[in-house]
Structure formats: structure tokens, C-alpha cells
Structure 1
Amino acid sequence: MTGPPVAAERSVATGVVRWSDRLLDGSVAGLASWTVVFHLARWTGAGRDGALGLWLVVVAGWAVLRLLRPAGPEVTVPSSDAPVPDVRWLVGGLAAVAALVAWVDVDGLWWPVLWAGLALLLLVAVRRSLPSAQPPSSGAEPSPAVPSRAAAAAVLGLALVMAVLSLVMVRPDQDDVFVVNRSTWIAEHDAAFPERDTVFSDDVLPVQRPAGLPTSLEALVGSVAALIRVAAASLAYLGLAPLVAALSVAATWRLLRGLGARAPALATWVGTAFLVLDGAEHGSFGNFSAGRSWQGKVVFLVLVVPTLWHHAAVWGRTGRRRHLRATALGVVAGLGLTSTAVLVAPAVVVAATAATAAHTTTGRARWDRLGWSLVAAAPAVVVGFGTLVAEPQRLGDLAATVTETVGSGVVATFDPLRWLDSGTEPIGVVRMVFGDGVGTLVVVAAALLAWSTVGDRSTRLLLLAGPVLVFCGFLAPGVLDVLNEVGEADAIAWRTVWVLPVPALVGLALTQVRWGHRIRGAVPSRPVLASVAVPVMVLAVVALTGTAITSSANRGTELVWPPAVDLPRPEVDGARGLVDRAPAGGRVAGPEYVDFAVSVLTSRAKATNPRSAYLRGRHADAAFRAEDRRILSHALEHGWAEWGADALVDALDGLRPDAVCLRARPAVGDGGEVAGVLVDAGYRTDGADAACRYFVPANP
């Protein structure tokens, strides 16, 4: 009587798994193909609509071939019931290191000491996870793990929750001054893709970002927005963001299934819940999840990195070519999302392949798989070297004399004494991403100890690959300085910790251990209850001691209904008021956050100061009048002229904005001084709202 329901349940769950994986791989393949089409369009001068049309044809062809092709055998996973070896002394040592990192600022010459001990412990763990001297077993592979219908439903529910969270959570981020502005410009201009600045000019001034391969996601959002006739900002915030947030859950779930997690659905919930609670630091994994899931770098972190770990590991384990192709597509997709891909993607691909190939191959077969993994990662390596050529940065020091080079530049980078006392402190990177305290302990301990919760040697080695790359490699003394000296990569070097698939590691570490059996007195007769209670208690402590990404303490985050674009409120209303009052191609001026919203909403009017960091750089020559922009923006924000009324008058005369927003309720005073200067400079009032008092030229 129980046979058919069980079979039906497995059929439903298998269908959810299959379509979830297909949607993930299809999304990554679509991003990869768009990256190629985008750069072909750039190099040939093709227009926006032609490029989008070509991409749609490619995507349709890929989808048809994928649907017609047999699904093939499911990926087999290691057994979750393999005995866990006794590694208590290693676990104790690594746990002590995690506690030190969580609460002590180990900087200066103390970092090399801690690093040496940590590296020794990790390398011993690697040694104990390597295959035995005997050849790999040629016996039958284990059967694929099929989740229950309840588990599949739980994951689908979590994906829906994260999608809704991305819709109702408003946490403005000024990276959108570049990111979403570019999409908006492309949506509003049926022409070739821009190569130069679109924030302050129409593809005229030098672009704010360093030279290198431009990312392509912004162009895709703008092109699709033009096709379906919606605002690019609305498509990014209310379309792309919830889609990526939902897919991130599927990506974590698939990675955990591939790792042979005992309860992958539960682990996915636990890891994702940790992300929601991880909002204390601006650079945290939590803040690079649902709250910013429309940005390319976040798409890379939450979708592409787990995909690379999964497919590269399966390629190393099985040698199936479709996983190698999926790995290569993931690398190319990453290049279209963020410059960080040149550092993270090759490391993940090679490490994951090496970890699993070590247990399933020997001799030439092993080297073949490693070699092909290098081929898959090659696009990122080529782009990285190409960036150095495009922007030589400090490589010019190589042409200097030995005397000149020995204290600076590339040669100085390899001074061993500098390696010991890093200029860019590794502990600073840890604080920037993980913060300190209980939350830091949880995530660092999960990264260092997840391997110890599984018995399969291949999976243990795979789980060790991430922390070895990060802590023994990127955070080794001097390595961050090398990256900065050779490529001025300090702006993205901290993202090397993105090698770690944090939600999967946290979920696995907290759910894989059978707490009801492993902890004395933990009610052995009810292990399921214990396996849920322990993660819940840990997450409760994190919630009580940390900051959730939904908290107002997290840079003023708001939860709103109905869903709204992720722009400052009420400044977004002021931005719309400015745009309505300005002619096409005109300039508007207001407080910085009002200008920020203007730059995101439209490219038809140019904001004076949408982001202070963009008032310097290659585009900021004398004609740019950066200081005048700063003076005017500050006065409109605070209601008084800090540098004097004469300086404000000069700024108005030099910039001549077509519409001006003076903050309606300055923090101090009533803004009368600035209002008077505006009137004396030839402006008249033109209404007010909750955000702004508007001024326009009296004689336009």
C-alpha cells in the first residue's frame, strides 16, 4: 500500500531537482552567452537591439537542444553515512584559531605566527584526507541522493521567501550610480554600447572604473528593459533581484546535495538564515545577498561561485564533459559580472577539480582532468593579464633602475621583510567581511571545520580546498600586498574570501553532525530534534548578538510594501521632481542622495554629485569643476554655505543647473542662507514636497 505514494513522492522531488538544476545551468549559460555577444557587439560596433536579438536566438537554440537532449545520469554523491575519523586534536586547534580570529585583532608580525600555525593544521588535515596508496576503487558508484517531497517543497518555499525579501527590502547602495545608471543609459539610447562615462556625460568623459574588460550584465538589463518597455531601474530592482535571490537558494541546495549532505534542505535553510542575520558589516556575505542581488558581483557570488564548485568537483570526480562545459560557461559568465572573477574563478575551478580528481584518478587521467580545468579557467586568466596590459599601473617600475625599484613597485613586492608585516592586513580583510564576535566565530569555524563533519575522504578534501585557498593562499603574509603592487587590486582583493561558499559551509557544519548521537546526554532517542535544535540555538545567539540585514541599523534598511525600487526615501521623490523640472539633456543639483536617485532613474538629466567618490578620477579635469560640485551639493544638503556665500555663487555660476533641490528639512536651520543665495543667483522657487524645495532659473 505504501509503494505508489513513495514512488510518486520521489518522482515529484526528482522533477524539482532536475528543473531547478536546469534553470541554474540555463541562467549561467545565458549570462555566459550574453558576455560573448556583448563583447562581439562592442568590437564590431553593433547596436543594442541587434545584440539582444542575436542573444535571444542563441538562448532559444540552447534551450531547444537542452530539452531534446536526454537528461543523462544523475550526479552521484558520496555517502553521508561514512564514518567520521577521530580528528579531535585538529578540530580543537582549528576551533581555537577561529576563536582568536573572531575576537582578537591579530595584526602586524603576529599574523605570520598565527598563519603558520593555521597553515600547519590545514595541511595536516589535507594530508589525512588524501587517498590511500591503493588505486581508486573501481566498484559501482553510490546511488544519487533523492530528496523527499517535503524537502523539495521546503527549498522552493525558501526560494520564494528570499525572492520576496529582495522585493520588500530597501537598502540603497551607491554602487548603483554606476551599475544601474549604465543600464538606464543603454535602455534610453538605441545605439552601440557605451565605452565611456554615462554618469556625468553621454559616453564622452573617461569612465570611472579602471581599464579592463567591461562587465556585461548592465547592458543586458538595459537592453531587455528597452525591449519590454519598462524602466531599467524597475527591471533591476523588481525583476532581476528576486530572480537571483531565488536562484541563490537553488545554487546552495545543489552544492550541498553534491557534497553528500545528510539533510541538504535543512542545511540550505540554516545557511540562508545565517545570511539574513549577517548584516553587521557592509562587505558581509549577508549584505551581498538578497539586499543587492541585482548587482553583477552579487550574482557572481551567490550563483556562479556555487556553480563552479559543483561542476568542477563533479568534473574531477567523474570526468563527464558536460560538467567541464558548465564549468567553462561559469567562468565566462563571471567575467561578464565582475572583475573579481579573474581572482576567484580560476582558484575555485582548479582547487575543486584537484580535490576530487585526487580520489578518482591516477597518473595521466588525473593530469588530463587538471589540464582541462586549466583550459576552462583560462578566459579569466587571460582577462586578468589583459587588464594589466590595458592599465600598466605599477609594472612600469620594472623599467626603472635597480636602485629605484628596490623600495617600490614590483621588485619591492617580493621583499621578504615586507611579506612578514603586510601593508594590507589580512585581519583587516576578515573584519571587513566577517566582522567580529559570535557571527565571525560561526562563519570562520564553519569554513575551517566543515570538512571534519563528513567521513568521505574526497568530500573532506573538497571542503578543505576553500579554506586552504583563502587562509593559506590569499591571506598569507604579503599576498594582498602583491596583488596591490602588481595590479592595484586593493579595491577587490578583499573579495578573495568569496572563494568560500559560506551558506553551504555554515549549513553543513551545523547540520551534518548527528548531535543527538555525538553529544552525551543530548536525548539519543530523538536525534532529529537535536539536529534541528542545535542550529536554531546557534542562529538565535547570532541574531541576539549581531545585526540582521533587515535591521534599520544596517545602513538604514527599510522593509516596505508594496515593493519599491532600492533608492533613498524620500529622496527618490525629490529626484523625480528634479527630473520633471529639467529639460532633456539638462543638469540638476541637489543633496547627494537626491542626485544618486536621479542618476539611477534617468540618463536624460545629469546629476551634479551622485557620489562623492566619483568627483575624482580620470574624468575629473578642470572643466569638470569637481570642487564646485562638492560645494553646491554640500550647501543643498545642509542648508548653509560652509565655504562661504561667494564660493556657492561661483559654483552656481560655473555649473548653472537647470533645476535645484534644497533639502526641505535640513538637520540644522531652515536653509534660508542657501535659498537666499539661489534667489540672488537668478533662481526662483518652484514648489516643494517632503524631500525638496525646488528652484528653477527665473529667466530660462
Structure 2
Amino acid sequence: MTERGGASAPSGEREQARTRRLGSLVSALPALLTDGAVYAFALWTVLYHAAFLFDLRPSVTFLVWLVGCVLVGGYVALRRWRRRTGAASSDERDGPAESPAATMDRRWLLPTIAAAVLAAVTAGLDGVPWLVPAVAGVAAAVGAVLLTRRAWLARPGVGSDAPTERSWQSGYALVASGLVGIASLFIARNTPDDVFYVGKSVWVAERDIVPLRDFLFTEQVAAPLSSQPPIASIEVLAGALGRFLGIHAASATWYVLLPVLAVLAALSLWRLIQRWAPRRPVLAFTVALAFLAFVCGDDAALGTFHLPRLHEGKGMFVSAVVPLLWVYLTRWFDTRSRKDLAPIIAISIVATGLTSTSVMILPLLVGAAGLGMLLVGRWRDALVAGVAVMAYPIGAVIVTRIALGPMTSVIASAQFFDAEGTYRRTLLIGVLGVICGLGLWCGPFLVRRGTPALFAAGATAAMSVLLVPGVLEALSAGSGLAAVLWRVPWFVPLPALIGLLCTIDFAPLARVAALRAVVGAALAAVLVGAFAVAGTPMWSVRSFVEVHERPTWKLPQQRQKIDFWIWNLDDRPPGLLLAPSTLMRTMPIVTSEVRVVMARNGYLVDYDMNSQFSQDRLKLAAFADGVDQIAPVSELAAAMDRLDVGTVCVYNGNRKARDLAPELGLVKFASRKAPGAVTCYRRTA
């Protein structure tokens, strides 16, 4: 009996050790995956930019990157794992953390929260003069700044409370993120900008060349789009990935890259909530995901830039880079360790490789965090953070603008939304606008005390100033970025703050854990119910989304089939393809081998809409679309000559174009039956 009992003890200890190691691994996975992805994509972006100096093809750069990822990634992962396993298990930490409201002077706290609620309610309602929420928002922001500063100074030298990390919580986040990744395969939103983003990937995959000039209207003859300089590297990565795997670049983008991006975006949101939430991070994460899922529809809604548009760099920027940068800044300000500066620098490079919008949003984000640092007298830290975040993006922009010239003023000022328009375009109106406002102006009182509270107060203050009438107008006049200034709310981690609304604690419930949990669940249910009733879900046709039974390209399937049919015509003559605008917008995503007359009319703004370059394309597109008013036959024929149109395909329902075919010297050579009946003509001399 003694021997049997003695033998079972070591076995039980080994089982407990394995369980602890498994729990430690699960807890570490969200950080390992996201940090690893940040360093990997930062390395790719640096190599992509360096390849311009050595004239390397994307396929070569991709192979160098793969080797670098294996070597660097393995080394970093090993070091991190050793530190993790050597430390005490974080599962042993327990207990909710205090939010800043718990330690603040109630005499000033209540008026500040009242101002925040007033700002949120009036901003979300139509018919209220915008001056009311603007003034109330500034008052709430000033109160939050002063209260969080006072709370920090009352506990000098103390940063954030250590976040509670339980393996089951990380496991939940991993499962939820995996489901988000799977869902990305079945949700398809036809986005007009895909002709550029995915079209560039297709060009890279088929030609193994990075197009530095226009590739949509000409064979790199015309100047590139001024608003899309070749700084971003994600489209080239997708193209190089497709070439490496031997699959179509669109498949590499939507079947391989997109699910990975979706998982990383969800885990990035989880990491911020887990870092900032004073309690109930799983519940807050669930509410935040529900917000992104149910509040779509509008073109500028934050949910629209999640799953439906993650493959576009700007979607990944707002969904993953913004929350991760807040995480990294929080950790670094708590430790002020040099090693914690590394991920901040890396993610600034990632932002540069994702979208040119980062050059506008990053200064706002690091400025908001820097304001929090300045509030407690850490001006050197604010300066270091600013340099770490902005050095690479500014350098990339300077080099690009020197090489390509200044941005075209026409495209930069194509549209503008003032403070009220920006709020209601991005943060919405009605019940949803009120909830977004509560997340924005109550954010400093929802997060953990210490650094999260300081940073949330800085973000609220910065956004409140931007929403004052006249501020965005001044920024537009000074920067020439009127067309994209409506994106300024992106630097605020709004989905996370909205999720934290369900973590509000009430003093009478502080000692009753069960009742506290019930109240939190009830708040979460109310929020999710509001999203479901007032919002437009991302899978709704009103969000311009189709849900398929199997993974599909994010294109209307009928257009995709027609374009493949045109591409595969054996006797298709050389020259440009003229077809209905929707088909021409799809063709660059199908192949770069079939050049089209006009990939997208909106991009012609960069080439002067009144120029012959643009007018020829607009006239011919109107002819192929079958609009009521078209140009005379002589003008159409001259435009076809100038553009070297070789093939003209029109829907059979376009009787006008078919009747004019003989006058234009068009001879039928192929036809496609319904559905999607199309007739194609070749031009004769």
C-alpha cells in the first residue's frame, strides 16, 4: 500500500505540472500570435521598402522574408516561452481591479459623468445644435483629465494594476477569434476599392513586379494614384504569397490571408480589453465583438471596416493596429523598459505597411497617449513615445513624396465632413450614437486605474477637441486631407470602450459578487440587444454583404463568371477591353492580362476629369453601360482609336450599343447565354 501510494504521488504532480504548462501556453497564445504577427509583418515591410533600392522582385523578397521569419521568430518565441514558464503562473492572480472612478473625488466625479452623459445623448440625437454636445464633451474631457491626473498623483510611481490572466479566458478569446476567422470565408462585401487593392496583388502575382506607376488604366505609363503611393506592402505580400503557393492572388487574399487577419484582429481587441478592463474582460470582449458584428451598414461604421474589409490595409489598421498600439504603449509606460519600445516601433512599421491613413491617425493616437504622460509630468516619456511611433511613417512619407511629388490637391479635397458629420458618419446617430458617445466620454471611468485611465482620458480629450466646430476645418485647410478627415475617430479604441460599458461597478454591489455578476450580464444583454435592434448586422444585404454557403471570392459571382469567360476567349483580339463598368471594375481582380478601358471612374479624379484621358473613358463606359445619353458615334470611334480598344462586350439588354456596332466597325465573335447573357465584338480596321 505504501509503495502504491508513493508511486501515485509523483504521477499526480506530473499531471498537475502538465496542466499548469498547458494553461500557461493557452494564456500566452494571444500575445504570442499577435506579437509574432507584428514582428513578421514589420520585417516584411522593411524588406519590401529595401527591395526598391536593390530592384528585387517580390518573389525574391518573399523568400528572404520567410527565412528571416523562421530565424527571428524562432529565437523570439523561445525567449518568450522561457520567461513565461519561468515565472509564476498568472492563473494564481485573482480579484477585480479598481476602476479610476472608485478612487476619485465624488464631488467632481458626478458632474463630470453628468457632462459625459449629456454629450453622448445630445451627440446621438438629431435636431440638437452641435454646439451642445461639443461644449458638454469638452467639459467632460476636462473633468476626466483632472480627475485621472489627481488619482495618479495620489499614488506616485504606481502604474496599471496587473491584469488578471486566466487560461480559460484566453481559451475563450482564441475560440471566438477562430470562429471570426472562419466567418470571414463566407461573408462577401463587394467593395469598389478592391479593384486597386486586390488588383495590385493580382498584378504582382502574375508579373512578379511591383507597379510603381498606374496599372489600372495603363501599363505603368500614366502617373500612379497620388492618394495611393507604393508605401503599403500588404497588397504585395498577398500577391507574392499567391505566386509562392501557386494559386490565384485573389484566392491567396481571401482564402489564406483574410482568415489569419480576422483571427489577429479579434485577438488584438481581446488583448486591449484584457489589459484595460477592471473586471469581466470576457463579457466586455463579447459585447465588443457583438458591436462590430451588429453595427455595420453605413459605409463608415467601424464594423464595416472589420470582417468585410480586413483585407484592405485600412481595415486591419483600425481593427488591429490601433488596439495593439494602445496595449504596447500601456505596457511600456508602466515599465519604461527599452525592450518594450521594440513592439511600439515594430507596430508603427506595420501601420506604414498597411495604409497611408496611418500617417494621419498615428500622430493623433500617440498625441493622446502623450497628453496622458504630460499630465503626470513625464514629458521625456511622451517625447520618446512620439519618436518611436512616428519616425518610420514620417520617413517613408518624406522619401515617397520626394520621389513621386506632392499629393494631387483635387483628390485630397474631394469631400469633407465637419465635426457633426464626422461623428454621425463614424459613431452614428440614435441609440447607437448615444452608446458610442458613452464609450467615448465615459471611457476614462471604465478602464483600470493608472496608465489605462490616463490614456483613455487623453484620447477622450483629444477627440473632444477635434469635435469642436472649426477644428476639423482648420486641419483640412492646413493639411489638404479633407477627403479622409472623417476617419479621425479611429485613434480612439471605441469597440473596446463600448465593451467595457458592461463592467460598470456600483458601490452597493461591491461586496456581493453574485449580484455584481448578474448586473454585468444584464448590462451586456441590454447593449447587445440595442446593437441587434438598432444596428444593421454585417451579414445583411443592407451592409452590401452576401453570405455564401461555401468560401467565395468577395465579388458578385455572376460578374466573376462573365469576366473569366471573357478572359478565356481564344480569339479575343489584342487591345483594351470595353465592357459595362461593373465588369471592367472586376476584371483587374480576375487578371492583369486583360486590360480594361476604365477600372473605376472615381480614380479619374487624379487625372483631371476634364482631360481627354478621362473623357474618352467616361464616354466609352457610358456607351457600354447603355445609359440614355451617349456621345455621337464619331466621338466614340475616335476614343476607341486613341485608347486602342480591341474588344467590346455588352449585355444583350443593351440594344443601343448592339445597334450601333456596325457603325463603329464592330464584328460579333462570341456570345454567352443567360444568365448574364453577353455579346462580344472585335474592332475591324
CA distance in 2, matches of 1:451, 1:8: 40
Is the Cα contact below 8 Å between 1:312 and 1:353 reproduced in 2?
no
Give the partner amino acid of 2:393: A
Aligned twin of 2:147:
128
Is the Cα contact below 8 Å between 1:313 and 1:353 reproduced in 2?
no
Is the Cα contact below 8 Å between 1:84 and 1:452 reproduced in 2?
no
CA distance in 1, matches of 2:370, 2:574: 52
CA distance in 2, matches of 1:309, 1:455: 13
Is the Cα contact below 8 Å between 1:77 and 1:144 reproduced in 2?
no
**Residue 345 (structure 1) aligned to one of 362, 366, 375:** 362
CA distance in 2, matches of 1:676, 1:445: 60
Aligned twin of 1:441:
434
CA distance in 1, matches of 2:474, 2:95: 38
SS of the residue 1:30 aligns to: helix
TM-score of the superposed pair, with normalisation by structure 2: 0.87
Aligned twin of 2:660:
677
**Residue 54 (structure 1) aligned to one of 52, 57, 64:** 64
Aligned twin of 2:5:
none
Give the partner amino acid of 2:432: G
Q: Deviations over 1:28-52 (max 9, x none)?
A: 1122112211111113322222222
Is the Cα contact below 8 Å between 1:79 and 1:456 reproduced in 2?
no
> Closer, same or farther in 2 for the Cα pair 1:631/1:324, shift >3 Å?
same
> Closer, same or farther in 2 for the Cα pair 1:446/1:307, shift >3 Å?
same
Aligned twin of 1:100:
122
SS of the residue 2:185 aligns to: helix
* Structure 1: segments with no counterpart, 5+ residues: 396-408, 410-421, 665-669
**Residue 616 (structure 1) aligned to one of 591, 605, 611:** 605
Does structure 1 residue 186 correspond to structure 2 residue 179? no
> Closer, same or farther in 2 for the Cα pair 1:103/1:638, shift >3 Å?
farther
Aligned twin of 1:35:
45
Q: Give matches, 1:4-403, under 5 Å.
A: 11-71=21-81, 72=83, 80-81=97-98, 83=102, 85=104, 86=106, 87-104=109-126, 111=130, 114-131=133-150, 136-137=155-156, 143-149=162-168, 151-191=169-209, 193-210=210-227, 214-352=231-369, 355=372, 366-377=378-389, 378-383=391-396, 391-392=405-406
> Closer, same or farther in 2 for the Cα pair 1:209/1:393, shift >3 Å?
closer
Is the Cα contact below 8 Å between 1:684 and 1:696 reproduced in 2?
yes
Aligned twin of 2:502:
510
Does structure 1 residue 693 correspond to structure 2 residue 682? no
CA distance in 1, matches of 2:198, 2:611: 27
Is the Cα contact below 8 Å between 2:417 and 2:485 reproduced in 1?
no
Aligned twin of 1:598:
587
Aligned twin of 2:618:
630
Is the Cα contact below 8 Å between 2:217 and 2:599 reproduced in 1?
no
CA distance in 1, matches of 2:78, 2:22: 21
Aligned twin of 2:458:
465
Give the partner amino acid of 1:464: A
Is the Cα contact below 8 Å between 1:352 and 1:465 reproduced in 2?
yes
**Residue 554 (structure 1) aligned to one of 543, 550, 553:** 543
Is the Cα contact below 8 Å between 2:163 and 2:275 reproduced in 1?
no
CA distance in 2, matches of 1:673, 1:394: 37
Residue 655 of structure 1 deviates from its aligned partner by: 4.2
Give the partner amino acid of 2:267: A
> Closer, same or farther in 2 for the Cα pair 1:34/1:641, shift >3 Å?
same
Q: Deviations over 1:593-652 (max 9, x none)?
A: 11111011111111222211123323879563x323223323333376544555555544
> Closer, same or farther in 2 for the Cα pair 1:371/1:692, shift >3 Å?
same
Which one is further off, 684-693 or 90-99?
Answer: 684-693
CA distance in 2, matches of 1:619, 1:455: 52
SS of the residue 1:465 aligns to: helix
Give the partner amino acid of 1:494: W
Which one is further off, 580-589 or 242-251?
Answer: 580-589
Is the Cα contact below 8 Å between 2:667 and 2:681 reproduced in 1?
yes
Which one is further off, 458-467 or 500-509?
Answer: 458-467
Is the Cα contact below 8 Å between 2:233 and 2:354 reproduced in 1?
yes
* Structure 2: segments with no counterpart, 5+ residues: 1-8
Aligned twin of 2:555:
567
> Closer, same or farther in 2 for the Cα pair 1:40/1:143, shift >3 Å?
closer
Aligned length, in residue pairs = 655
CA distance in 2, matches of 1:222, 1:423: 33
Give the partner amino acid of 1:697: R
Is the Cα contact below 8 Å between 2:161 and 2:449 reproduced in 1?
no
> Closer, same or farther in 2 for the Cα pair 1:293/1:221, shift >3 Å?
same
SS of the residue 2:541 aligns to: coil
Aligned twin of 1:400:
none
> Closer, same or farther in 2 for the Cα pair 1:139/1:462, shift >3 Å?
closer
SS of the residue 1:659 aligns to: strand
CA distance in 2, matches of 1:98, 1:4: 55
CA distance in 2, matches of 1:440, 1:114: 12
Give the partner amino acid of 1:538: L
Is the Cα contact below 8 Å between 2:27 and 2:171 reproduced in 1?
no
Is the Cα contact below 8 Å between 2:62 and 2:240 reproduced in 1?
yes
Is the Cα contact below 8 Å between 1:352 and 1:462 reproduced in 2?
yes
Q: Deviations over 1:422-470 (max 9, x none)?
A: 9851111112212211112111211211222346243322222222222
SS of the residue 2:554 aligns to: coil
**Residue 528 (structure 1) aligned to one of 514, 517, 525:** 517
> Closer, same or farther in 2 for the Cα pair 1:515/1:570, shift >3 Å?
farther
CA distance in 2, matches of 1:515, 1:687: 74
Aligned twin of 1:662:
650
**Residue 419 (structure 2) aligned to one of 426, 432, 440:** 426
CA distance in 2, matches of 1:288, 1:584: 40
> Closer, same or farther in 2 for the Cα pair 1:4/1:349, shift >3 Å?
farther
> Closer, same or farther in 2 for the Cα pair 1:480/1:384, shift >3 Å?
farther
CA distance in 2, matches of 1:43, 1:112: 52
Give the partner amino acid of 2:192: Q
Residue 369 of structure 1 deviates from its aligned partner by: 2.4
Q: Give matches, 1:631-650, under 5 Å.
A: 631-638=619-626, 642-643=630-631, 647-650=635-638
Q: Give matches, 1:476-515, under 5 Å.
A: 476-513=468-505
Is the Cα contact below 8 Å between 1:212 and 1:386 reproduced in 2?
no
Is the Cα contact below 8 Å between 1:450 and 1:505 reproduced in 2?
yes
Give the partner amino acid of 1:580: N
> Closer, same or farther in 2 for the Cα pair 1:618/1:674, shift >3 Å?
closer
Q: Deviations over 1:251-301 (max 9, x none)?
A: 011111111441212211110110111113101100000011111111111
CA distance in 1, matches of 2:574, 2:149: 64
Aligned twin of 1:418:
none
> Closer, same or farther in 2 for the Cα pair 1:554/1:455, shift >3 Å?
closer
Task: Give % identity.
Answer: 23
Is the Cα contact below 8 Å between 2:443 and 2:497 reproduced in 1?
yes
Which one is further off, 386-395 or 332-341?
Answer: 386-395
Is the Cα contact below 8 Å between 2:190 and 2:554 reproduced in 1?
yes
Q: Deviations over 1:557-590 (max 9, x none)?
A: 1100211111123111111122222759642222
CA distance in 1, matches of 2:160, 2:226: 49
CA distance in 1, matches of 2:184, 2:134: 38
> Closer, same or farther in 2 for the Cα pair 1:469/1:441, shift >3 Å?
same
